[in-house]
A and B are shown apart, each in its own frame.
Chain A
Amino acid sequence: MTLRDRIGPAEAAPQLVDGTFVRDLIDLDAREVSLRVHHDREIFDIEMERIFAKSWLPLAHESEIPNPGDFVRRNAGQDSCLVVRREDGSIAVLLNACSHRGMTLCREEKGNSQTFKCPYHGWAFGKDGRFLGAPFEKQMYGDELRRAADDLHLVVAKTAMLGGMIFANWDQDAEDFETYLGDFAWYLRAALERTNRGFEVIGPPQRQIMRANWKLLAEQLADGYHARALHQSAGDMGTLGHDAHDPASWGMVGINVSTPGGHTMRCIDTRLAYSFAGIGDTASVAERLAAVPPPGANADMVKQFSNNLSDGQMRLLADTPPLVMGLFPGTDFFMLMSVGGSDDGSHGPVMVARAWTPRSPELFEMLTWTLVERDAPPDLREQTRLTTLRNFGISGFIEQDDAEAWQGIQKAVQGPVARRMTAKYQAKLGVTRPEGFEGGGDVYAGFSRDDAQWAWWKRYAQVMGA
């Protein structure tokens, strides 16, 4: 039986070889997920077709390719692609495979090029993916290639941008980016497009491998509950949880948000987590933002916010700035207010964008970019770079401990008995939208329970089970 037969037409429910429907692995009433979803190759293949070949995926930040002809090579799902700055400044995402025989067109990870020429037979393509010509073209083909030039165009992905991050989608029929973001756009723009000049990234992303199924990272983003145990070390070091018995200081209290599209977010309630001593109860949003600027900003930058954000978005950043914003299926932005990382006592924000690419059921690759406001003064820029590096990414000690959970579960599901177990998401808060809160989606204010995480799984079930 071929993969195509198993997956069937887009509207059919996928069924595994043993007769199980994928949708039956997610118990929507009991709020439990069979751990088998992290193990089976069959399920993985269906995910790659149904999710990664059809979803908006982040590939690069536009500040990585500032000039025409600048490009980086990245993976969009399992496909290699080129993210190229075109002559007019716009961005093209091209499949990195020659339309002639499928040869990998470009073998560098970064560079500047006016054209892309295939090493195999020398077919050449423009920065926009247009077929330009082939060696000995007349002798080989007469004028056939000229007539077929449109068909020989490199495969082009749809592109979109958010906070300077370039997203691509291979599926020409996919929902447009704004529809994909849905109610999440309001929050993301508040966090990522708050200043006049916006963000840039510092250097190329780190690339690392994880011996775990990609979903273990993706679904964890909305899990506030793990902080106390898994990040015990950060607590011991005085980075998180300054009061071990106070859940707010562990970032467990605030506002969680999910959308039907499977995007999830956790926002920290600054009023509980930080001291506002000296600021009166009647302080305005602007005053509170200036007193405790959201991650990555300073009091000076805060003045620009009102040019770019609505009053409601300003309030969001003042009271409950987004900590982790996960986009289904493979993206997140993580902005942590102020953490340590050195015995010199220095503190700074963690500002990352991450993307993950599944490689196999038990392996994914992760890219980590450090984000910094273009207007950040040199000292804030440097502190952001260092604190981010020390807490997140391959040497970051907060993230190292997260990875233990991903890899630990992956180890467990190698066993057939463990695979029959379920992961449980019954801690329910319910929709508790604070009065006057302007953000959309399903809003859960209070202790960070399983609600948003479960919303991720509902979306997964929907995509995999239709």
Chain B
Amino acid sequence: MNELAASTSTEASFGSRARIRATDPRYMEILDFLWEEAAMLDRDDLRCWQNLLDPAIHYYMPVCLTRKRGSNESFETEGMHYDEDFGSLSFRIRRFLETQAWAADPPSRARRFVTGVRVWEEQGEGIYDVASSLLLVRTMDDDFRTDLVTAERQDRVRLSETGAARLLERKILCDQTTIGTHNLAIFL
């Protein structure tokens, strides 16, 4: 299993734990969680999605810049597109569901393709680092053109013994310096 240990920059940011193979039941649990989560967001079931969030969640999306190879500073530590906790995510969800939020009513339709899922060995308390690739395809109104957003998501997920998984942290590393959709009235 050690041959899957950290080697890329993404993996380095998760520390030095070994990666869990895709055949591991815990990997399958987490994969299932990510798929279920994506489906909830795709069907705009935001209340349900909120139930997947740990009360201590940190959900953030740094600004990406085009930098020289090797600069290691493509993502800014201060400039953000999103920087949310449970309270602000809850506020956003209430706004979408309970108020006249023109930007999300009618809602856009989005499909989230989650692939390339990698899971690292437990850090204790059932907490796992999880990286995935996201392809978000977003359609609005009667426009046949779609918006595409691609990103790596670096998550911390907690698996409980009852099988209920919760999202503790999500860092969204978008590939676009100019985001490929006009707003983020949408979760990634």
Contact = CB atoms under 8 A, between A and B. Distances in A.
B146 to A, nearest CB: 13
A105 B188 CA distance: 35
Contact of B82 (A232, A233, A389, A400): A389
Given A343-B91, A400-B103, A394 B183 contact: yes
B92 interface: yes
Main secondary structure of the interface of B (DSSP, over half): mixed
B65 A395 contact: no
B174 to A, nearest CB: 10
Contacts of A87: none
Nearest to A405: B102
Given A207-B179, A343-B91, A397-B92, A403 B103 contact: yes
B67 A397 contact: no
Interface string B73-104: 10011111111111110111011001111111
A207 B81 CA distance: 9
Size class of the A contact interface (CB-based, 8 Å) = 35 or more
B81 A394 contact: yes
A133 interface: no
A279 interface: no
B101 A394 contact: no
A365 B68 contact: no
A204 B67 CA distance: 13
Given A390-B88, A393-B81, A395-B184, A203 B76 contact: yes
Given A210-B182, A343-B94, A394-B179, A389 B83 contact: yes
B171 to A, nearest CB: 15
Contacts, number: 131
B87 A400 contact: no
B79 A236 contact: no
Contact of A109 (B80, B92, B103, B177): B177
B63 interface: yes
B71 interface: yes
Contacts of A411: 141
Nearest to A231: B102
Interface in A378-423: 385-386, 389-390, 393-395, 397, 399-401, 403-404, 407, 411
A404 B177 contact: no
Contact of B95 (A208, A344, A397): A397
Contacts of A109: 65-67, 177
Given A390-B88, A394-B184, A401 B177 contact: no
Nearest to B77: A203
Nearest to B84: A390
Size class of the B contact interface (CB-based, 8 Å) = 35 or more
B178 interface: yes
Interface string A204-233: 111111110000000000000000001011
B131 to A, nearest CB: 22
Interface in B153-188: 177-180, 182-185
A18 B82 CA distance: 47
A237 interface: yes
A83 to B, nearest CB: 14
B63 A404 contact: no
B91 A342 contact: yes
A237 to B, nearest CB: 6
A232 B100 contact: yes
Given A365-B178, A386-B83, A401-B102, A237 B78 contact: no
B99 A237 contact: yes
A89 interface: no
B126 to A, nearest CB: 26
Contacts of B100: 232-233, 236
A341 B82 contact: no
A233 B99 contact: yes
Contacts of A401: 101-103
A237 B88 contact: no
A47 B28 CA distance: 57
A114 B36 CA distance: 51
Contact of A233 (B78, B84, B102): B102
A286 interface: no
Nearest to B80: A389
A139 to B, nearest CB: 30
Nearest to B63: A204
A211 to B, nearest CB: 6
15 contacts: A108-B67, A111-B67, A203-B79, A204-B65, A207-B177, A208-B179, A341-B88, A341-B91, A345-B87, A365-B178, A385-B80, A390-B88, A397-B101, A401-B101, A401-B103
Interface of B: 61, 63, 65-68, 71, 73, 76-88, 90-92, 94-95, 98-104, 141, 177-180, 182-185
